[in-house]
Amino acid sequence: MRQIKVQCPAKINLTLKIIGKREDGFHNIESIMQTINLYDYLTISIENSEKLRIEISGTSDKIPYDKTNLVYKAAELFFDKKLGNYKIKVFIEKNIPVSAGLAGGSTNAAGMLFGLNKLLNEPYTREELHHLCSKLGSDLNFCLEGGKQMTTGRGEILEAMKFKNFNLSLIKPEKLGISAKEAYSKFSEKLKNNKNGRKKYLNDLEWGLIEDYEELKTIKRLYPNSIMSGSGSTYYLINEGFSPLNGYWIKNNLEAIPYGIREY
C-alpha cells in the first residue's frame, strides 16, 4: 500500500466581477484570488485491486462520503486514463467551512488529483492536471496553483500576480451556507431588476445576496470594511480581527500564502 498526505488551502476572493453569462450556463468572471493558511488535509492510500474502488471518510458531518462528493468525482476522472485497477481510500480532515465561499470542495478535489498523480509517479503532466481540474469546477485550477492570481473565464484561466503577505480574519454565520448556484442566480435576478446598475462592492455576488440574509447584513453593519468571499457566506477583514459574536464562526490571525496544493 502506498500513502500520501496532501495539504489543501482555502481561498478568498480579493475582488470578484461578473462580466456576463456564457452559453454553457456559467458566468465569465474577473477575480483576484488568494490562498490562505486555513487547510483541509487528505490522507490518500492506494493498493492493487481487481477493480477500481473508491472509499471516502472524514471528520465532517456536513459533507457526503459517496459518489456526489467532488473528491470521488476527481478520482473517477483521474482513472479515465486507463492506469490499472486500485482500491483508493481517502480520509478528509475538514477545517474549511462548507458552502462558505472558501473553495473547500474545490481544494479537496484538486488535492485528490494532485495526490493520486504523486502516488502513481505522475502519469499526468501539470498541464494535463489543469485540464482535469477545469472539467470538475471553476476554482480547482486556482486551488492547484495558489498564491495570488487573476482568474478569468469561469475562473479556470490563471495569470500569476505578485504575492504580498498580509494578515486576515474570517467570519461566517454558523447556520448559513450559500451555494454558488444560488449566489449567481440571485445576482442575475437582481441585475435584471436593477436597470440602473449595481452598487459598488468588491464582490458582485455580495451585492446580489446581502439584502436577502440578515446574518450578512449584521456582519456588514458591525464591520463595514469586511468583504464577502466568493459566493459567501464567509466575510473577511484584512489586517483586522473579529470580536466573538454569538452564532458566528470566527477565525482570526490567518495569513495569505504564496502556494496552493502541496504534499504535507
Q: Which three cell numbers stand for residue 107?
A: 481544494
Q: What DSSP designation does 212 have? A: G
Close Cβ partners of 128 (under 8 Å, ≥ 6 residues apart):
none
Average pLDDT along the chain: 95
β pairing state of 157-160 and 27-48: unpaired
- Answer yes or no: is pLDDT of 198 > 90: no
Neighbours of 110 (CB within 10 A): 33
77 residue type, one letter = L
139 in catalytic set: yes
What whole-number percentage of the chain has pLDDT above 70? 98
Q: What is the mean pLDDT of residues 173-202?
A: 86
- Confidence class of residue 197 from pLDDT cuts 50, 70 and 90? low
66 in catalytic set: no
- Answer yes or no: is pLDDT of 2 > 90: yes
pLDDT of residue 195: 64
Where is average pLDDT lowest: 79-83, 127-131, 171-175?
A: 79-83
The predicted model scores a pTM of: 0.95
| Sequence-ordered alpha helix ranges (H) in the chain | 70-78, 104-119, 126-136, 140-145, 180-193, 204-209, 214-222
Contact 182, 212 (CB under 8 A): no
- Answer yes or no: is pLDDT of 199 > 80: no
CA pair distance 148, 145, nearest whole angstrom = 9
- Answer yes or no: is pLDDT of 196 > 70: no
CA pair distance 208, 88, nearest whole angstrom = 40
- Which has more pLDDT, 200 or 232? 232
| pLDDT tens per residue, range 65-88 | 999 999 999 999 999 887 889 999
Question: Of 40, 139, 148, 204, which one is the catalytic site residue?
Answer: 139
Question: Of 11, 148, 172, 186, which one is the catalytic site residue?
Answer: 11
All domains in the chain, ordered by first residue:
2-161 (3.30.230.10), 167-255 (3.30.70.890)
Q: Which value, to the nearest 10 degrees, does the dihedral of the CA atoms of residues 13, 73, 9, 223 take?
A: 40
Where is average pLDDT lowest: 59-63, 80-84, 170-174, 236-240?
A: 80-84
| pLDDT tens per residue, range 24-51 | 767 889 999 999 999 999 999 999 999 9
Close Cβ partners of 174 (under 8 Å, ≥ 6 residues apart):
247, 248, 249
| Closest-CA residue to 231 (of 130, 46, 112, 98) | 98
- Confidence class of residue 188 from pLDDT cuts 50, 70 and 90? confident
